[in-house]
Chains A and B, each alone.
Chain A
Amino acid sequence: MNSVKYKFHPDEYELGENEKFYSDMEAKGWRLVKRERYLSKFVPAEPCQLRYRVEVSSPEFLGEDGLSEGQLTVFEDCGWEYVTSRSFLHIFRAPAGSGAPEFYSDPVQQAQTLKKVCRGMWISWAIILIALAIGILITFFSNEPWIDKPWERVLAVHFKRFVRIPTHYVMYWFWMLWAAYELIWSTWKINRTYRRLKRGIPLDHAPKGNRILHKLFHPGLLCLSALCLLLTIGQLISTQSEDLPAQPDGPYIMLCDVNWEGERTTFMGQSSGVTHAVSPLADYWETVEYIRTQTGGSVWLRQYVYRLRFPGMSGTLAQSLMDTPILSSWAAFSPVEAEGFDAVWAAGRELVAVKGDMVAYVMFLGANDDGLDDPFICAALQAAWES
């Protein structure tokens, strides 16, 4: 027989549910020894009928001292055995029919013990809303170089990242949904209990209903978030970054494809390389190439190439790439005629091209170069995508 058992317990704001949960476990032969954040620890015991009761006493930061020694003594003198505490919950038990009096003969009096907990919930809401507001402000002002269309640019940056690592974003969405759900549920639950007690309705020590939706939904969101975290880690581990090969090993172009020959060199300590990532939404290649020409000039090429699993995303992705150029202004992009492509836009030394499920951003800087030779680049891209 197992010597210890851990089990998820009801939320700390569900007073009656916790009392029933521990009483039921005792009846099944599992005695509570410790309550953690999400799990309770039980040891085997002779199944028996015990009454479990929770006393709410807020910790010091809410202006109370928690469970005092004197209070504990009175509870124990009345026949209640102190078991454990977690946060503002203090758990006691007494044999059923022992005559140990209920903690509160007056529900209104018990409501007073929840007052500070309810206030604490609203403080939590205020902290979250303030943090959210600060986050939004930081996001907004941290993009100071992009004076124009700041929100569009923030969204564009995140859309590009979303295409590359969607599970990372989904993980956050599930996590935020879980956090919001927990907070809303807790606020509703504790305020409902408080209002009922205040109206003189005694606490239900054995509430009915198995709350199956809550039991599935609450941990389910957290599990989905954890699953997405694992997928994100898996994707990051499988992402390959290596030196740029002599010949392209993916649907991207190299300087030799546009007739620039020279010796590979470095720029600000960075050498020519290619990164290949596979995400649930796209295969992604990012390359950077630096060469020194025979005349001593430097030429470099940077590109992002996406092969989308959902071609319908290509328009949004192309717009995101144009909204976040490296060199140009977002407004500088204008359509370019290019045969064989769905659409091509160019701005100075930058170009965005779309063809079916393929989307590319190319930036080219050449010695004594006034711009990008668009048809030349397009032809090279087309050849790379068809090969």
Chain B
Amino acid sequence: MDQGPMTEAAYYILLALLKPGHGYGMMQRIGELSGGRLVMGPGTLYGVLSRMCKERLIVFTGEEGRRKNYAITEAGRIALLAEFDRLKRMVADGSILEEAQR
């Protein structure tokens, strides 16, 4: 995967897949993780899932009835951590805003 900024959808899907699950479960988990801020549509979810499968950030693990289960791969975990670090740095860099507001 290129190391450019990750989209919000991709970031939350990887976060949700720290616990393997199916598409609908992921959407619910993303809602929980974002405190209801992010409502991911099924189209967005499947678009990102298929792209991340091709990039081997996630992997198809099996079926549960009609539902497909996915899990994050080691490459996906590394990419997620890299994005997390990037976001942390950005937040840290932005701390001057708080100082400026004081």
Interface size class of B (residues with CB under 8 A): 20 to 34
Contacts of B4 in A (CB 8 A): none
Tally A-B pairs: CB < 8 A: 77
Assess whether B45 is interfacial by the CB under 8 Å rule. Answer: yes
Contacts of A68 in B (CB 8 A): 46
A105 to B41, CA, bound (A): 6
Contacts of B27 in A (CB 8 A): 74, 77-78, 101
CB closest chain-B residue, reference A55: B43
Assess whether B9 is interfacial by the CB under 8 Å rule. Answer: yes
A73 lies within 8 A of B40 (CB): no
Question: Which of A69, A71, A103, A109 has the largest number of chain B CB atoms within 10 A?
Answer: A109
A70 to B46, CA, bound (A): 9
Contacts of A80 in B (CB 8 A): 42
Nearest-neighbour CB distance to chain B for A205, whole angstroms, equals 13
B45 partner, pick from A69, A72, A74, beta carbons under 8 A? A74
A109 lies within 8 A of B43 (CB): yes
CB closest chain-A residue, reference B46: A71
Contacts of A104 in B (CB 8 A): 41, 43-44, 47
Nearest-neighbour CB distance to chain A for B8, whole angstroms, equals 8
Assess whether B68 is interfacial by the CB under 8 Å rule. Answer: yes
A109 to B46, CA, bound (A): 10
Size of the A side of the interface (Cβ < 8 Å), in residues, is 22
Q: Which 4 A-B pairs have the closest CB atoms?
A: A103-B43, A77-B24, A74-B23, A70-B68
Q: A71-B42, A77-B24 are in contact. List 11 more A-B contacts (CB 8 A).
A: A70-B66, A73-B65, A73-B66, A74-B45, A77-B27, A78-B24, A78-B42, A103-B42, A105-B9, A105-B38, A109-B48
Assess whether A261 is interfacial by the CB under 8 Å rule. Answer: no
A68 to B23, CA, bound (A): 12
B47 lies within 8 A of A74 (CB): no
B35-57 contact mask (Cβ, 8 Å, vs A): 1 or 0 = 00011111111111000000000
Give 18 A-B contacts (CB < 8 Å), ordered by A residue: A55-B43, A70-B63, A70-B66, A72-B66, A73-B66, A77-B23, A77-B24, A78-B41, A78-B42, A80-B42, A103-B41, A103-B43, A104-B43, A105-B9, A105-B44, A109-B43, A109-B47, A113-B43
